[in-house]
Structure formats: C-alpha cells, structure tokens
Amino acid sequence: MLLVRCCLGLTRLGPVQAQRHRVAPALASCAVRLCSTREEQRWSRRASWKHALAGLLAGTGAVLVYGLHQHKAEQAEPIAVQTIGKPPAFPVYTQDEVTSHRTLEDGVWVTYKGGVYDITEFVAMHPGGDKILLAAGGALEPFWALYAVHNSEHVLEILSEYKVGELSAEDLKKQQQQSSQSSDPYASDPERHPALRVNSLKPFNAEPPPELLADSYITPSAIFFKRNHLPVPQVDAASYRLQVDGLPGGTLTLSLDELKSRFPKHTVTATLQCAGNRRSEMNRVKPVKGLNWNATAISNATWSGARLRDVLLAAGYSPDAARWARHIQFEGLDRDASGTTYGASIPLSKAVAEDGDVLLAYEMNGEPLPADHGFPLRAVVPGTVGARNVKWLGRVVVSGQESSSHWQQNDYKGFSPATDWDTVDFRSAPAIQELPVQSAVTWPPEGAAVGDDGQVTARGYAWSGGGREVVRVDVSLDGGRTWQLARLRGGEEEVGEGREAAPPPGRAWAWKLWEVTAPLPADAGDELEIVCKAVDSSYNTQPDTVAPIWNLRGVLSNAWHRVRVKVQRDEEEEEDQDRDGQEQ
C-alpha cells in the first residue's frame, strides 16, 4: 500500500525530492525498490510528470513537446535542508538573481507568489514543452492566467517540489504592482448563451444541450458548440488583413472588403465536429486526457465566404506549385503569452480541389461570424475535423510541410488502445483530417422514462467526414440485438424521395438528423438500451464498443451510441398485457 501510494499517488514525485534533500528515507527507499538507478529514477519521474501535467494541459490544447534536453544546471542548485515536520529555510533571491537563470545552461528559475523555483530539471518533462522557457527568469502568473488549467492544487503541489528560495520582499511588491496592471486575457471574451454546457471557461469550451441540438437542422450560432484554445482575440474589421504567403509571387494581402468584393461568395452547409466529441464515453472506460465532452461537440451551420481555391489562384497558385507544395497552413490571430498563434494545416489537394469547398468564411448562418466562431474570418474545411477550421484567421501559407504547431504535430492524432503516455510517439500517427462516421442519440436523455403510450421515439444526428453522405442509420431498442431503420432528414434542399436529391458524391458536408418511432419491444423489461449506428456512402460503419478504440487523448470516439432509459407503462396497457398473458 505504501508502495502504491508513494509511486502512484500524490507523492509519487517524492523520490527525487527526497534524494535532493537527503531526507524522507521511507519514501526514498520505496522509490528505490522500483527505480534502482538514477537513470531509471529520471525516467520514472519524467513519465509521472508527463502523465500528470498532460492530463491538466491537454484539455486546453496548450501542450508543446519539443524533445528531451539533458540539462547541466544541477551545480546551480542551492542546497537547502528540509527536515520532516519543519519547513525548510529557503535563501532569499533578488529578481536580478532570478533573471540570471533563464537558460538550460544557467538553470531555469521562475517565481510564483513570492517563491523561487528551479525548474531546470522539469523543462524536459513539461508536456507543454519549450513554452515553459518563456517564463524563465520571471513570474509564472501571467502564463498561468492564460492557461487557467494550471490553477489547480495538483499543479501547485508539483511546483512546490522545485522550490529553492524566496523572492526578496521588494521585488515581490514590484511584481504584484505589475500584475495588477495586466488584465485577465479572457476578460474581453464575448458573452455566451446560458443554455451551453460549459466544459472549460478559460479558454471557453462548451456544448449545446442534446435536446436542443437535434431540434433544428441548422444549429443556431448561439448554441453551436464552442471550442477555443486561447482567449478570443479582438479584431478590428476595418484594419484586418489576411496574408497569403508561400507562393513564388510573394505575399498577397487582402482586407475584409477585398475578400468580399474580389471573390465570388460561396455558401456551404457544413457540420463541424470536435475530435474529442463523446470523449466522456472513453473516460468511462479508462481515464483520458482532454475536455470531458459529451455527445454534442458537433453542430451544423451555413457558412459563406470566398473559396480558398479562388484566393490561392489570385495569390499565384498554379498546378506547378503542386510539385513542391503539399499543405496549406492556417495561422489564427488567437495567441498565447509567448505570442504563438493557434495553427493547423490541411492537405493542399483538399484546399485546391474544385469540389473541396474550402472557404475563407466571413458569415455563419447569414450573419457576420460571431466572435466565438472566428470574427472576422475563419477557415471552413468541410468534412474535416474542427481543429483544422482555424478561426480568427490571420495567415494562409502554401508549404511543403504541415503546420509545425503543437495542435498539428502533437495533438489531434489517433493511437491504439495499447499506446500510453510513456510509449506514445506522436510522429507515428497522421494528423486527424477527415473524421470517421459518427452518430448519437440526442433524445431521449439517459435515464428518461419512455413508453407510457406504448411507443418509443428516439432522435439524433449522424454525420461522416470526407464528404461521405450518411446513407442509413440503424437504431436498436434492445441494446443492439435487433435493428430498425431510422427516417433521415437532410437540409431542405435535400428533402425528397429517392437518391436523386442526394448531394454530389463526396460533397455531403452536412449531417442528417434521424428519428425512429416504434412500439415498445414486447419483451422489454424495466429498462431499454437505445443504440444507434450510422453507415456512410463508403459503407463504413461505427464500431460496436468503446474499449477497442480507446486512445490516450480520447479522440475519435465513435462507437455505437447507447442510452439507457426506463420503461414506463400506463396502467391500462399493463392491464392489457396481463389479460393477454392470461389468454395465451
């Protein structure tokens, strides 16, 4: 039990601390039982850190991994002696002394609420990678303000192990004065609809209630799911410029008015889905890292704007470029404390295809883009994971390389259920682009009472990536034993009998809503398990269960959706049943 607690519990990082301070022999010895060499101890510690902080940071996407550096800063470590039951006496440092430690060579020191911390050893283990160096020699507060997820007791406990001193009272006072002048970077985020179910406030991440989502084929912008990685930037439409780079002719710069007047306005109805939609179901199998989305991190809207293809052609793109170019990189105007912007890329072939329908959109549902959805301009990449539909778009780059951003390289990828945070190699998997076929029950909610009129009605959505049309939704009222066909509803222009109304092959960007009304199964007990699965035009379908598609980031959660409900029979029907039972 002691072994488990010291190696897996809150004190699992104790061994190295214990060794440093040459105390806490019980903890040290128990660690040594697992980690017999210094190299192994480092590995163990690294893995634990990676695991712990990745969990906290992954939700915001604010994680950058940059390779493991060996540091040479151990000699810079002040030797403070900590004895059990008595707080250690820490030396006092001036801000200048702290500031002199801002490299791996000189040691990396930071301050937090008057404490001085030597985090040199931690830099290589930080799941957020080299961004941590931006705080080197200074205060952590402004950075943690950006990623509110750091403000947890657990992170503070981790930090406390690295404490080496106290900041001088004078310098602490200066710091506090500066801090009070800088405002919360999220302070200017827009107001949101109260119906949204918030998963994270800073950055803002929220999904609509399921019972509202499937009410309308077009999701009202106010309840369209929100997935921000950073504070919402304040962009002035008049001075806004889009930069298009990477082509031999040089940079093309376009104002919002130019985007609207120089290029035909193109309108596409497209469903966007977060890669982490339905992550909560994976979390129930085994904990994963990320925002605990339920089944509504998906919405459908009508987007209008210039076609990216047209803009690229205006910037000098020609098929010649396809000889060296492979990707279109998008850079957002949302940025972190270091000035790094959100970024992602899509394959060039998708961007330039006439039937790719990639937009530089300035309207959503017939109105200018709302602040939360990328005002004044965003990429809309139909059929492609939400993360590549970059909002507050500042720059488009034609390149031979994928975006080097964290979100393209070290996040939003799928792994096997056997891959964990200690073994994951992000280079081994492709960045998610098209999403797999998906569907979910949005009505009735889990635990609801159904069947009081002898009928069960279920509703939901179904969608697939890559423009593959949903051609069928199978619904089961008995946990997947027997199935029935759901009625499908597309957009108004798609309603009609037969296949003629179908969108062109490969361009079915929008979801379908589905509905089933069926008699309560004759053999139903007190509970029903309502299950749905969709089939798309490539006849791909959803896997039966979650565990075999579980992955450490909890993305791509598209197993059959299951909702358990209670059976409520009215008295008359029960009497009928009794009579039937007697007659047989």
Among 466, 528, 532, 563, binds its own copies (CB under 8 A): 466
Q: Does 318 bind its own copies (CB under 8 A)?
A: no
Q: Does 549 bind its own copies (CB under 8 A)?
A: yes
DSSP string for 465-511? STTPPEEEEEEESBTTSS-EEPEEE--GGG-SSSSTTSPPTT---S-
Binding pattern to its own copies, positions 337-376, x when CB under 8 A?
----------x-xx----x---------------------
Which span (95-103, 266-274, 447-455, 541-549) binds its own copies, by CB under 8 A? 541-549
Quick one: 11 or 438, whose CB is closer to its own copies? 438
Which span (115-123, 175-183, 308-316, 474-482) binds its own copies, by CB under 8 A? 474-482
CA atoms within 13 A of residue 483's CA, in its CB half-sphere: 12
Among 188, 455, 484, 517, binds its own copies (CB under 8 A): 484
In whole angstroms, the minimum distance from the beta carbon of 412 to its own copies comes to 11
Measured CA to CA, the distance from residue 513 to residue 214 in angstroms comes to 7
In whole angstroms, the minimum distance from the beta carbon of 353 to its own copies comes to 8
Q: Is the dihedral of CA 417, 422, 425, 431 positive or negative?
A: positive
- DSSP structural state of residue 383: T
Contact 232, 201 (CB under 8 A): no
In whole angstroms, the minimum distance from the beta carbon of 486 to its own copies comes to 10
Q: Does 538 bind its own copies (CB under 8 A)?
A: yes
Measured CA to CA, the distance from residue 441 to residue 72 in angstroms comes to 55
Which span (63-71, 146-154, 207-215, 475-483) binds its own copies, by CB under 8 A? 475-483
Q: Where are the beta strands (DSSP E) in 104-170?
A: 107-112, 115-118, 163-167
Q: Provide the 3-class DSSP secondary structure of residue 138.
A: coil
- Determine the longest span between alpha carbons in the chain, in angstroms: 93
Quick one: 535 or 563, whose CB is closer to its own copies? 535
Window 407-426: residues binding its own copies (CB under 8 A): 414, 416-419
DSSP string for 167-211? E-HHHHHHHHHHHHHSPPTTTTPPP--TTSEEEETTTTEEE--HH
Terminal alpha carbon distance of the chain: 60
Position 36, amino acid: S
Quick one: 152 or 428, whose CB is closer to its own copies? 428
Q: Does 399 bind its own copies (CB under 8 A)?
A: no
Q: Does 325 bind its own copies (CB under 8 A)?
A: no
Q: Does 541 bind its own copies (CB under 8 A)?
A: yes
Binding pattern to its own copies, positions 556-575, x when CB under 8 A?
x-------------------
* Closest to 203 in 3D by CA, of 229, 171, 175, 221: 229
In whole angstroms, the minimum distance from the beta carbon of 184 to its own copies comes to 37
Which span (91-99, 206-214, 283-291, 530-538) binds its own copies, by CB under 8 A? 530-538
In whole angstroms, the minimum distance from the beta carbon of 69 to its own copies comes to 22
Measured CA to CA, the distance from residue 192 to residue 498 in angstroms comes to 41
What's the order of all strands across the beta sheet hosting 226-227? 197-200, 205-207, 226-227
* Binding-residue total with its own copies (CB under 8 A): 50
Give Cα 281 to chain centroid, integer Å. Answer: 15
Quick one: 40 or 544, whose CB is closer to its own copies? 544
Contact 301, 69 (CB under 8 A): no
In whole angstroms, the minimum distance from the beta carbon of 10 to its own copies comes to 29
Among 462, 474, 516, 530, binds its own copies (CB under 8 A): 474
Q: Does 118 bind its own copies (CB under 8 A)?
A: no
Measured CA to CA, the distance from residue 491 to residue 482 in angstroms comes to 29
Burial profile 455-467: b = 16 or more Cβ within 10 angstroms, e = fewer: ebebbbbbbbbbb
Q: Is the dihedral of CA 450, 452, 456, 461 positive or negative?
A: negative
Measured CA to CA, the distance from residue 405 to residue 477 in angstroms comes to 44
Quick one: 11 or 464, whose CB is closer to its own copies? 464
Q: Does 506 bind its own copies (CB under 8 A)?
A: yes
Which residues, other chains included, contact 100 with Cβ-Cβ below 8 Å and sequence gap of 6+? 106, 137
Quick one: 354 or 367, whose CB is closer to its own copies? 354
Among 434, 478, 494, 529, binds its own copies (CB under 8 A): 434
In whole angstroms, the minimum distance from the beta carbon of 265 to its own copies comes to 21
Q: Catalytic positions, please?
A: 126, 150, 227, 274, 412
* Closest to 201 in 3D by CA, of 390, 60, 56: 60
In whole angstroms, the minimum distance from the beta carbon of 419 to its own copies comes to 8
Which span (148-156, 332-340, 535-543, 570-578) binds its own copies, by CB under 8 A? 535-543
Neighbours of 501 (CB within 10 A): 12
In whole angstroms, the minimum distance from the beta carbon of 291 to its own copies comes to 19
Q: Does 543 bind its own copies (CB under 8 A)?
A: yes
In whole angstroms, the minimum distance from the beta carbon of 570 to its own copies comes to 28
Binding site for its own copies (CB under 8 A): 347, 349-350, 355, 414, 416-419, 427, 429-430, 432-437, 465-466, 468-469, 471-472, 474, 480, 482-485, 498-499, 502, 504-506, 533, 535, 537-545, 548-549, 556
